[in-house]
Structure 1
Amino acid sequence: MDQGIEDVKLMVDVGLDAYRFSISWSRLIPNGRGPINPKGLEYYNNLINELINHGIQPHVTLHNFDLPQALEDEYGGWVSPKIIEDFKAYAEVCFREFGDRVLHWTTVNEANVFALGGYDMGFVPPNRCSFPFGTRNCSKGNSSTEPYLAMHHCLLAHASAAALYNTNYKDKQHGFVGISVYLLRFVPLTDSKEDAKAVERAYEFLLNWMLHPLVFGEYPKLMIKNVGSKLPIFTRAESSLVKGSADFIGIIHYQNWRVKDDPQSLMLQIRDPRADMGAKIMMLKENVTAPESLQIMIEYLKEVYGNPPTYIYENGLPMKRSSELEDVPRVEYMHSYIGAVLDALRNGSNVKGYFTWSFLDLFELLDGYHSSYGLFYVDLDDPNLKRYPKLSAKWYSNFLKRKTTISNGVLELNNNPSALTS
């Protein structure tokens, strides 16, 4: 835990007042249910205590693409309704053991990417998919049906855990239970009416698929029409449970993507969710990152879903991993995107906080150690994994400590590069 203590000290030096991390279900309850691992319990208690002792609020995620293998083997994990009760029991362990110090709980991280990436395209755990839609690495799965099942059970597991918290813990612990969504901004590939309509469908299928039930208790009508019997149905009791179950929405945002109308995909006999929406989504090199996209997506939640409390839980710039500490592009990225968040806040959006991704260089889900998002470089060749602050860490520290302003922060930091010692 010594390195964890040192990392918390770095957080204090930077000026953070909150830190977001995930609890590994497998580390805490190795078999998914049953005995708690005392070493796992000790680890998370030590981390949480260290954060609290230094005035840093923990924001905890319960599921981040990480499921005990025993539950995957027993009944297929998130494709089975059995996951709902097991997740609720796991959440209760966390509420009971850590809830006296943790106020912000995220049940499932970016459930829309988890459902599509894990059960349609198969590029993230548990790597389920089926030909011709997924990757070649999938040995089992059904891209036509399983993404819808996984999302359905994520929503019900989230709502069940939130209801449990509200009934048994909220009066004493006074915390909040939310869920996070990967918010992509979609832009039509051309100026055609067809591509503009395709953008609307992209939002319905990739964002509103998750958000609509949380606010209205049902899936979007267009999805119900296009997906048909493959789309699970909420019972009246389930609809009531899911509706209004999120105290806040966590926003994950990095990019905007282009959308092209693809009506032919709706003619396919076997379709996955991307084919069901009748559109092709693509990342283009130009205009991939644009700070106004984050503001637009924050305000989308305000306009479409009643302005719920939101936290920007991930936003950052990937760069090739390097010991070069002068990460000027990342400073410029943070400077512009934080400005976009402030603009949304000034326009009345209910933004409660901003978290940059990531504090340290780490093992990325898709890239491993090839790319870097961190404010601190971690020397993997050093047995002690020594941390070194990048220019972005120094700029962010100055910004948080009000030693610079959002309008000219990059210039000021370059004139005062010694905000943190290395």
Structure 2
Amino acid sequence: MSGLGSLASALIILVLLLTWDQELCYGQIHDVYKYSRDDFPAGFIFGAGTSAYQVEGAAAEDGRTPSVWDTFTHAGGMLDKSTGDVASDGYHKYKEDVKLAADTGLDSYRFSISWSRLLPNGRGAVNPKGLAYYNSLIDELLKYGIKPHVTLYHLDLPQVIEDEYGGWLNEKIVEDFTAYADVCFREFGDRVSHWTTIVEPNVIGTSSYDNGMFPPNRCSNPFGFFNCTAGDSTTEPYVAVHNLLLAHASAVTLYRTKYQANQNGLIGLNVYSFWYYPFSNSILDIQATQRSLDFLIGWIMNPLVFGDYPEVMKKIVRSRLPSFTKDQSEQVKGSFDFIGLNHYLSVWVKDNSNASKTAPRDYNADFIPTDIIDPAGLQHCLEYIKNAYGNPPIYIEENGYGLFPTNDTINDVERVSYMSGFIGSVLDAIRNGANVKGYYAWSFLDVFEFLGGYQMRFGLYYVDFRDSNRRRQPKLSAVWYSELLKKKAGIRMSRKELQGRSYSQQ
């Protein structure tokens, strides 16, 4: 899971995810929804995912060079001072993990490629051992009939690129990202049916360049979450996202002109989402809610669909918001075959526009969301995108539930209830016409979490991080999800039945 906009939001999310109380945040633990896989459209994809830095480990092995996350964690950037040096050791245990995915019944496995493992210098020569690893992972998945869904970039920029010219703050990165994408399409595209170019550009803008809670840890007073030594929170979020969109569009143009006709794959961009509820029925709160949707979802979706940023952003941000040239607008517009959506929580929004008119301003002062809650807002979000953006094909690429390690780790009844409710909301959205093509649980395994290190567990499979062998063990949620995918009757369990059913009974 990734971090989000404001200092207040980040702190609330972190507290919620480290001390999650389903009764408080979700209202009550619901019975498991009564639906089956057969209720979903033919061809609907059920999967689960991880990302390179969060799962692979082997940080300094076989030619891989540091990413910005290596630098950040080794400088003590995480609250628990953890690193992804070993993580879940997926680099060495991928065959075991693919077998678990097959046993679970996954249609697809979503993973990302480490740019600095494949291209240690950020560009130029391909690392043969990195190439061999990803070829082997893809081939292993296909051996079991599991479709690889590959993300090119999951927040782990090669440090060499950051050092050379400032990474996403410099338009030079468009050329380097496109060259990296070219290597991936060329080497893996004959076996990959779905590509996501970049994960959560809106989160990268806010968490890396506004509050500084993610690397490269850039922010400016008084907006920073950590002690940033450089940055400008009032402008850099918008510059970074602009370059992220241009890099995405360039990679899509390359794929469509050079590869797609022969490889027959699909390509898209990922967006992080909240659903927003007005704090009251006042006109100001309702307007603030729409403003929040425009600043979070519209920031990415409007350029993709209409070729430009939302009008409210241009009005509020003014000259701090970069402009697309005519050619850039035409390239960005329509640069997707599908949209990937990450969704975990919903937010109450109360208008604060009068208090936010004083300078200086950052991204969060421009729209200001408040208190975090967790109702089933995913259906509303999907139907909003359907109505506002022409009903594009959507894959839910991340949705999951974090538990503190002291909770009942294996018999994770709360996670089953959460997943059941959100998958049910996807089904409701589909029945109302939303063009949803698949659902990926986050995460397949317990991994290094960008917000909480190893103090937060989202996995369907438990990983013992105290064990040098990183032993895996299925949780009750893995059993429940497997039964859903295999159309077994166990899907129709109530909360009481779940609580009385330990994993050892499976």
Change (3 A) 1:384 1:148: same
> How far apart are residue 90 of structure 1 and its match?
0.4
Match of 1:340 in 2: 425
Aligned partner letter, 1:398: E
> How far apart are residue 335 of structure 1 and its match?
1.1
| Conservation of the 8 A alpha-carbon contact between 2:480 and 2:491 | no
| Conservation of the 8 A alpha-carbon contact between 1:61 and 1:108 | yes
Picking from 90, 95, 102, the partner of 1:12 is 102
Identity of aligned residues (%): 54
Q: Show the 5 A alignment for 1:261-300.
A: 261-277=351-367, 280-284=368-372, 288-291=373-376, 293-300=377-384
SS at match of 1:125: coil
Q: Show the 5 A alignment for 1:320-339.
A: 320-322=404-406, 324-339=409-424
Picking from 132, 137, 151, the partner of 1:61 is 151
Match of 1:366 in 2: 451
Match of 2:175 in 1: 85
Larger RCO of the pair (alpha carbons < 8 Å, separation 6+) = 2
| Conservation of the 8 A alpha-carbon contact between 2:475 and 2:503 | no
| Conservation of the 8 A alpha-carbon contact between 2:411 and 2:502 | no
Q: Show the 5 A alignment for 1:3-402.
A: 3-277=93-367, 280-284=368-372, 288-291=373-376, 293-322=377-406, 324-402=409-487
Aligned partner letter, 2:103: D
Segments of 5+ residues of structure 1 without an aligned counterpart are none
> How far apart are residue 136 of structure 1 and its match?
2.9
In 1: Cα distance, 2:495 partner to 2:143 partner:
32
| Conservation of the 8 A alpha-carbon contact between 2:480 and 2:490 | no
| Conservation of the 8 A alpha-carbon contact between 2:210 and 2:220 | yes
| Conservation of the 8 A alpha-carbon contact between 1:14 and 1:420 | no
| Conservation of the 8 A alpha-carbon contact between 1:250 and 1:311 | yes
| Conservation of the 8 A alpha-carbon contact between 1:257 and 1:282 | yes
**TM-score under structure 2 length normalisation:** 0.79
In 1: Cα distance, 2:404 partner to 2:173 partner:
38
SS at match of 1:394: helix
In 1: Cα distance, 2:201 partner to 2:477 partner:
29
| Conservation of the 8 A alpha-carbon contact between 1:394 and 1:420 | no
| Conservation of the 8 A alpha-carbon contact between 1:335 and 1:410 | no
Q: CA RMSD in A?
A: 1.8
Change (3 A) 1:135 1:229: same
> How far apart are residue 267 of structure 1 and its match?
2.3
Change (3 A) 1:81 1:2: closer
User: Relative to structure 2, which stretch is displaced further, 143-152 or 2-11?
Assistant: 2-11
Aligned partner letter, 1:268: T
Segments of 5+ residues of structure 2 without an aligned counterpart are 1-90
Change (3 A) 1:381 1:269: closer
> How far apart are residue 34 of structure 1 and its match?
1.1
SS at match of 1:276: helix
In 1: Cα distance, 2:113 partner to 2:135 partner:
11
Change (3 A) 1:229 1:281: same
In 2: Cα distance, 1:410 partner to 1:419 partner:
18
Aligned partner letter, 1:141: G
| Conservation of the 8 A alpha-carbon contact between 1:327 and 1:391 | yes
Q: Deviation digits for residues 331-382 of structure 1, max 9, x if unmatched?
A: 1111111111111111111111001111111110110000100111111222
Aligned partner letter, 1:124: F
